[in-house]
Structure 1
Amino acid sequence: MTEKPSFRDALKFWFKLGWISFGGTVGHINIMHNYLVDRKKWVSNSRFFHALNLCMLLPGPEAQQLAIYMGWQLHGKKGGLIAGILFFLPSMFILLLLSIFYVFFGNQAWMFAMFNGFKPAVIAIIMLALLGIGKKALHTPYHVAFAILAFSCIFFFNVSMVFVIFGAIGIGLLVHYLSPPLIPKHGKEAEFSTVHEKAYYFNQHSIAAGSNTQKKTIGLQILIFFLLWISPGIALYYLSSDFAFWRDLSVFFSKTAFLTIGGSYTVLPYVAQYAVTKLNWLTKLQMIDGFALAETTPGPLIMVVAFVGFMAAYHHFDASVSMGIIGLLLTTFHTFLPSFLFIFVGGPIIEKAHGNVAITRVLGFVTAAVVGVIFNLTLFLGKDVVFPGGIRLENLDPVALGWIFITFLLMKKYKVNVLYIIGISLVFGLLHY
């Protein structure tokens, strides 16, 4: 049996992970699996995928939550906190520098040209995500129908995504209890050899940390979370002349953190549409630029909300970079803080419900709704890239349309890395200019 890893060795890995975890959720999970399971044998295959399934049931970025959970199991709460914080911290600092660079140089002709090359590639990236999630989520005609319904509710009737998600939960429960044969079981549970389980430090025979958490401990953790959550608001109440703006920013991004079930693409359409059309924090094209900047950083794509927070405060306080920095830090804090609560408090509870058929079926409908929501995001952002002057044939930008097709083909057929696509798009934008 592998000995317990030292905290120092684990710290080195979590620090490194924060800087090299490009490629979105799949990239993060692959890096963790390769290091924790294959190379170091700190965690067994069965435990790793059990934890991943657990994290997919919770709101928030599942890759970060997986890191928190693994850190927790290896070195207690201290390990979980370190793993979770180092997961997003490097990405936050990189995006902060890029955001400052963006507001200083984004209006330069050469920078404008580079971002014009970015924008079609971003649409292609979203389209690729739509296909990938759709392939996994739309198992039956009922899931397809619900994806279409979710898209129609948002696109034609401007229904809030909150109601779409709760509607998906309600329909999933109704189908499960009233007509379970409508949704046949699909797929096979992953089978893992138990022969070598004992070769791993944390294996299926290990008692998971938090299994016997007492109600008093849960209550104390919730209280600590609440005090941490309100602490920036209390400071800004006394230090800021416009507390109402900071309150709205904090509440909005706290709410989005609780809606991110099934990955970043679940909540990003809601953030994009609400922040652009209702709050007027930034423009559609700036939102697309934010997607592009977030793709260039390690860490989860949900980090794009930090750019939204930066631009919101920057615009609200008359092009103040210092206020933009506070907006980015506050947004990041409220976006990633709930993940620690979900793992330390919700993890042990949901672990007991692991494999529950009702939960699995409900999540199936939620994920189907996400497909419709992402399709809406594709049209919402894509129409301004392909038709910059409005949806008319004479306003069609054939270069942008062609670059969407080319970058999509490069990623889909030839598996070109997203970072290379971004670099190529920058060069393309300059050459086209």
Structure 2
Amino acid sequence: MNPAPGAPSAGTVPFGEAFSVFARIGLLSFGGPAGQIALMHRYLVEERKWLDEARFLHALNYCMLLPGPEAMQLATYAGWLLHGVRGGLMAGLLFVLPGAVVLVALTTAYMLVGQVAIVQGLLFGLKAAVLAVVLEALIKVSRRALKGPSMVAIAVAAFVAIAFLGIAFPAIILGAALIGAVLHLLRSPAVRGTGAGHPAADVVSEAPLPSWARPSLARFLTTTSIWLALWFGPLLLLHAALGQEHVLAVEASFFSRMAAVTFGGAYAVLAYVAQQAVEVHQWLRPDEMLTGLGLAETTPGPLILVLVFVGYLGAARFSALDPLLGGLAGALVTLWFTFVPCFLWIFAGAPYVETVRNVRWLAAALAAVTAAVVGVIANLAVWFALHVLFGDVHAYSIGPFDLPAPDLASFDVAAAVIAIAAGIALLRFHANLIAVLVLAALAGAAMLLVRS
């Protein structure tokens, strides 16, 4: 029997049934976070009614506030609500592992035959089509997040701050949250002098919580200790065994830092990693970052699995191991240090988040954070577009602003044609994502052969 909406409890949803549903979600979760969130909403809220709308959206807002991939963390949160820690582990791993296995196989194929002309053509078309995918995600998230002029203003300010001023994303997120909370307080009856202003007026009644979802200091300390040990224990071992300069130790530190500071979901992570992996560590080229994103789009699971591609190439090229063995080690390091912190954020923080999910000023702060994320996605779209459509991109400064300066002579007409066609297919005709990516890859191969 299904639980009452908004009140999942132990034993109500059979674990085997939950396993089956989350396995289906993991295998069908194509199309990036927007599509994955929609898929989870369909299965968990609309069809199964295991979660109600309010609890699902509150969980989503919390996951958007966390560093790391919001879709994977939302799956973990939903599994945790249904079956505690084992449910969260089950849901999170089923969301990640199928796509991770496929992407490791695709990355290995890229390492072995990536320089073959036909493969280069396929990847060329794939990268161009990814532009349309990012644009579609931007439109979908904008429609959901930008409710009113104030949210639009926050999104625009976030875009300018991260794209042209180089302001750190955590500062942008904190600023957006404060603005959202202040705007709510200014609009409240107490501030306007039209209400009593009692604190209880800003909280609505709570739905019943399962036992594991109630805050417990002892459980919080135990959970935090276990997951910090699982996170930092292997990190210290890698540094001690291989040395701080070894690429696997550097990757472990890099992806640990990424897991802790990249707020705003998968697209914020990609913007940070693209800059660091390409420009600082030089593990791969800008066009290869787009290749990895294209491969990640063709696999199920979180879009953040593109990091597996990054870690694989970095270790394959800069470790003393055989390239394939080094690449596999890099992929494993990337997976561990990217996703172990995600379980920590959910299992330690979710019980406290559940107790305040109906505090309206906090909901307003989270809504402003979601609006700021729209600006981050817009920045990512611009970054990808410049590197796909132009062969040469420079940057120059005007006062506090850092502005991109593409070489107009390096404009790639073929990439633009494929990107526009993919955009029309996805946005106008709502075509199947995988079909669009496959056709774009074939078109890229054909265009490269014609050029040759």
- The TM-score with structure 2 as length reference comes to 0.81
Say whether residues 1:68 and 2:76 are aligned partners.
yes
Q: Could you say which residue in structure 1 is the equivalent of 2:377?
A: 374
Of the structure 1 ranges 94-103 and 307-316, higher mean CA displacement relative to structure 2 is found in: 307-316
Q: Which amino acid aligns with 1:412?
A: L
1:154 pairs with 137, 155, 162, which one? Answer: 162
**Structure 1 residues 413 and 322 mapped into 2: Cα distance closer, same or farther (>3 Å)?**
same
Say whether residues 1:419 and 2:434 are aligned partners.
yes
Say whether residues 1:112 and 2:120 are aligned partners.
yes
**Structure 1 residues 379 and 63 mapped into 2: Cα distance closer, same or farther (>3 Å)?**
closer
**Structure 1 residues 58 and 374 mapped into 2: Cα distance closer, same or farther (>3 Å)?**
closer
Once residues 38 and 53 of structure 1 are traced to their aligned partners in structure 2, the CA distance between those partners, rounded to angstroms, is 19
Once residues 378 and 56 of structure 2 are traced to their aligned partners in structure 1, the CA distance between those partners, rounded to angstroms, is 31
2:170/2:262 contact within 8 Å kept: no
Q: Which amino acid aligns with 2:139?
A: L
Of the structure 1 ranges 305-314 and 355-364, higher mean CA displacement relative to structure 2 is found in: 355-364
RMSD: 2.9
Deviations 1:150-199 (A, max 9, x none): 33333333333333333333444554556879xx9xxxxxxxxxxxxxxx
2:142/2:371 contact within 8 Å kept: yes
Secondary structure of the equivalent of 2:115? coil
Once residues 156 and 33 of structure 1 are traced to their aligned partners in structure 2, the CA distance between those partners, rounded to angstroms, is 35
**Structure 1 residues 217 and 243 mapped into 2: Cα distance closer, same or farther (>3 Å)?**
farther
Q: Which amino acid aligns with 1:304?
A: V
Q: Could you say which residue in structure 2 is the equivalent of 1:192?
A: none
Once residues 35 and 115 of structure 1 are traced to their aligned partners in structure 2, the CA distance between those partners, rounded to angstroms, is 33
2:247/2:319 contact within 8 Å kept: no
1:61/1:260 contact within 8 Å kept: no
- Measured after TM superposition, the shift of residue 229 of structure 1 is 0.4
1:330 pairs with 312, 317, 333, which one? Answer: 333
Gaps of 5+ in 1: 185-203
1:400 pairs with 411, 415, 427, which one? Answer: 415
Once residues 428 and 369 of structure 1 are traced to their aligned partners in structure 2, the CA distance between those partners, rounded to angstroms, is 35
- Measured after TM superposition, the shift of residue 306 of structure 1 is 1.8
Say whether residues 1:79 and 2:87 are aligned partners.
yes
**Structure 1 residues 180 and 372 mapped into 2: Cα distance closer, same or farther (>3 Å)?**
farther
Gaps of 5+ in 2: 3-10, 193-205, 394-405
**Structure 1 residues 397 and 113 mapped into 2: Cα distance closer, same or farther (>3 Å)?**
same
**Structure 1 residues 138 and 213 mapped into 2: Cα distance closer, same or farther (>3 Å)?**
closer
Secondary structure of the equivalent of 1:159? coil
- Measured after TM superposition, the shift of residue 91 of structure 1 is 0.9
Secondary structure of the equivalent of 1:419? helix
Once residues 68 and 89 of structure 2 are traced to their aligned partners in structure 1, the CA distance between those partners, rounded to angstroms, is 15
2:288 pairs with 286, 291, 301, which one? Answer: 286
2:388 pairs with 385, 388, 393, which one? Answer: 385
Say whether residues 1:349 and 2:337 are aligned partners.
no
- Measured after TM superposition, the shift of residue 110 of structure 1 is 1.1
Q: Could you say which residue in structure 1 is the equivalent of 2:230?
A: 228
Once residues 305 and 97 of structure 1 are traced to their aligned partners in structure 2, the CA distance between those partners, rounded to angstroms, is 14
Q: Which amino acid aligns with 1:164?
A: I
Q: Which amino acid aligns with 2:323?
A: S
Once residues 9 and 175 of structure 1 are traced to their aligned partners in structure 2, the CA distance between those partners, rounded to angstroms, is 43
Deviations 1:133-153 (A, max 9, x none): 223333343433333333333
1:161/1:270 contact within 8 Å kept: no
Of the structure 1 ranges 344-353 and 369-378, higher mean CA displacement relative to structure 2 is found in: 369-378
Deviations 1:245-295 (A, max 9, x none): 444423332333344554312322122122222232221101100110100
- Measured after TM superposition, the shift of residue 418 of structure 1 is 1.5
- The TM-score with structure 1 as length reference comes to 0.85
1:28/1:63 contact within 8 Å kept: yes
Structure 1 residues 115-194: aligned runs within 5 Å = 115-176=123-184
Identity %: 37
Structure 1 residues 18-33: aligned runs within 5 Å = 18-33=26-41
Of the structure 1 ranges 405-414 and 389-398, higher mean CA displacement relative to structure 2 is found in: 389-398
**Structure 1 residues 295 and 327 mapped into 2: Cα distance closer, same or farther (>3 Å)?**
same
